[in-house]
Structure formats: structure tokens, C-alpha cells
Chain A
Amino acid sequence: MNCIIIDDEATARAIIGQLCSNVASLNVLEEFPNAIQAIKYLNQNEVDLIFLDIHMPDFTGFDFIETLKNPPKIVLTTSDANFAIQAFEYDCIVDYLVKPITPERFQKAIQKAEAVKSVVKPKGDANKVETSSGNDLYVNIDRRLIKIDIPSIYLVEAKGDYIHVKTEDKNYTVHSTLKKIEEKLPDSLFLKVHRSYIINVDKIIDIEDNSVLIKKDVIPVSRSNRPELMKRLNLL
């Protein structure tokens, strides 16, 4: 398993690195003293397993997990056993090691991670598991699960505790967040252009400065998202 180590303490990184070196199936690709550097790395690289410290300044281990769209297996490492309950809220967390980590306990964590490996879905299916099929998305409205054809969605707008999902035929108001629906929409088709808007790139009519026209809606494009939008266009 290719793995990375994230811990703000050099001593901890050295210990985990040494414990990894004694396990033939583990290959440590990188070590990071903070989560931000690791996020940048993971934007470009895939790993099977992360050894993640929870207690880091500014950006905790849990904050880090929240940023990952398709998190790999994670083994938490901490000096504080009190976080164990919170750890159970995340499916990607396969074990929880309290420092100082003993070789015996480390070995058990690796066995757990290896066991999970066999049930992890193939990488190519990562986006599909959250929808019933490749093209459908079910939303809960008034206790009914309503099927929406994903390619027909042209705009999603955040409004407080709700999102408006606009499609070719109909609009839906759903009690959810932009972050949640963003995770379920394919990257190849959809792009978050503003903190309140996700658009279907195929449905753009035109772009002017800092806005896009999509159907009859003029949608603002934030400065930080504009470069990604421009990259996605087939410019002449």
C-alpha cells in the first residue's frame, strides 16, 4: 500500500516512518508536517493509506478529512484517546492509534487496513457509488425520493439551508448543502464557479468577464474559480 504520513511533530513522523519500514507491504511516499501540504500533494497523487495526526494547529485531522472528496483509508494517530468516538463517524477511518505507538499495535492497524482493501471499490467507480446509476441522482423532497437525470441539471444554487436544483424540465428545492451535492456530481460535467453556484459546463451559453450565462440565468464567477472555468473551455 502506498501511504503518506501527516503529523506536525517530526518525532512522530520518524516513529511512524520506522514502523512502516518494518512492514513489507507499506511504501511511504511522502511525509508532511501539516495538512495543507498534504492536500496539495493529494491533488496530484493517489495513495492507499494515510497516517493522520488529529491534533495539529490551524487545520486538524478531521478538517483535513472533510476536504477529501474520495478519501483513502486513514489510520488516525493521536495522543488523545478522547477523539475515538468522533472517528467512528468516518467510513474511511480504519483504525485509531494512541501515541506512543507500539510495533504490535501498529501491526494490528495494518492488518485492519489490509482487510479493508479487499472491499474498497475500484477507483473508477468512486463518483458513481453515491448515485443509483451513472446518470441518476435521488433527492429527498417531502419524504419522497425523486430521481433527477444528472446531465439535465444545468444549475445548482445554494440558498441558506437549501439548494435549488435547476434542470431542463423542472426545478427542485432540496434541504441540503452545495458541498454535499458537489460530491455527487461528476467533475467532468460540473464546476463550482462561486461559493453559491455549481454549473453544468456543457450548458454555458456565453461568458462575460466575471459571469456566465446559463439558460436564462446570469451566474457570478468568483475570481478564484475563473482559472478552472477557463481551463475547462475549448477555446479557439
Chain B
Amino acid sequence: MSDHTITRSRLSLTRPLLTALLVLAALFFIFPFYWILTGAFKIQNVAVAYPPEWFPLAPTVQNFIDLFKNPVPRWTFNSFAVAAGEMLGVCIVASMAGYALAKKSFPGRNLIFILFVSAMALPKQVILVPLFTMLADFGWINTYRGLILPAIGWPFGVFLMKQFAQTIPSELMEAAKMDGCGELRMFGTIMLPMLKPAIGALAIFTFVGGWNDYFSQLIMIRSTLMMTLPLGVATLQGEYTTPYGVLMAGAAIASLPMIAIFVLFQKAFTQGITMGAVK
């Protein structure tokens, strides 16, 4: 990598103007988070002060105290439970299916894959009404089951794992097969380790997606105690007033876990993303 950098830097996109633009754009992206974090510590009329107060001059934790009058720990737990449940389910189911679709030949393979891929383009909301009525028939509304299991049916994971699995050389498996290695062992001892980075990426994708799946949660969750963190934060908006400070405090708490996860796993994350899509 590093020996390329010297020559590449001559590719004259490094003019100061462009760098300035880049930095400006970055500031633009960071700003909302700065505003959330500082807003969380401002008292209400400062949070909406005009001209704006760029930094909380009289920081307060009152917003957090008010926020925690709601069952925030429970909301956080719910968010984690739902996101982790989806993550686990998707990873198991998708890696098995991806492996079969990429590395095995059987009748209907292409048909099944096309079915998966074409469903991927569909916005979830399109099926939400019938899905909802179905889950209501099961009695799954307002349960973890109702939130987690439908997400496992979503075909993106299968698509991703198939793309990854394809890049793994088949020779390895053929060799194993000749040694009389059975299907399950082949999957467990050869495929899974090779798929690890892919599973890691899919895990994070699914976790983040589950955490942020506002629409499904809005519809599927009934009771205050079952709410997820983003949903709970959204409901803090009143019909007649907006408690900005408390909303910001909630927004900060709802965002931080995701940011932490991303920063901690950035390497696995980027590796995973790129390995599948870039061939």
C-alpha cells in the first residue's frame, strides 16, 4: 500500500481547494453530533436560542434526569435484544443459505437466488400491512418474537453471504470432499472460518439495521415498556410542545452505542463491506 501512495499523490486531486472542501464536508457531517451532544446539556430555552449558543455556557444534567423518568434502561435493553436477536438469526440463516447458493449446484438454484434478489429491492413498508395482520393472528404483536423473526426473513443477508462465499476457492472444499469430509463438517470447519469477515460485517449491518428500524418498531410495538430506544425518544415529542433538551439527551443515548460499535469494529466492518461488493 504505502509504496503506492507517493505516486498516487501526484494524481492532482490534492489541491488545497479540494482539501478545504473535504474538511468542510466533514465538519458538516460532524456538526449534528456536536449539536446533539451539546444540546443535551443545555437548558430548554438555550437549546433553541437565537442566535444560537454554540456551546452550553451553563451546562445542566436536568435533561438526563427528565429523560430517565422514562424507562430508558428498559428501552436500551429492548433495542439491544432486538438488534442482537436479528443479528444472530440473520447470521446463522444467511451463512448457511449463502454457502449453498454459492458453492453447490442443485435444481432451482438460480430461481431461488433470483427470488431472493428481486425481493431485496422491495421496501419493507410494502409488506408491512399484511405482515402486521399475520403477526397479529399469531399473537406476536408487541413481542420480541414479532420484532425479531420477520427481520430474519429479509433476503439481504443471503445475498451478501452468497457474494462472499463465491470468492472462496472451491478447491479447498473439493480437497476436503475427497478426504471424505461430510457436509456439516465442511461447512463448520472450512466454510465458516473463511466466511468470518463476512459474518462479522453482516452481524454489524444487521445490528445497526435492527437498532434503527424505526418504521417496523413504530407499528409493532404497543406498550411503553416494549419500546426501543429510538422509538421511545421519538415519542418524547409531545403533541403541543417539543422538549428539545430532553430529545437531544435521548438522541445522544440512542446514537452513542452505534457510533461506539462502528468505531470499535471499523476495520472488520470496512473489510466485510468491501470483500463482498468489490471483486
A binds B: no
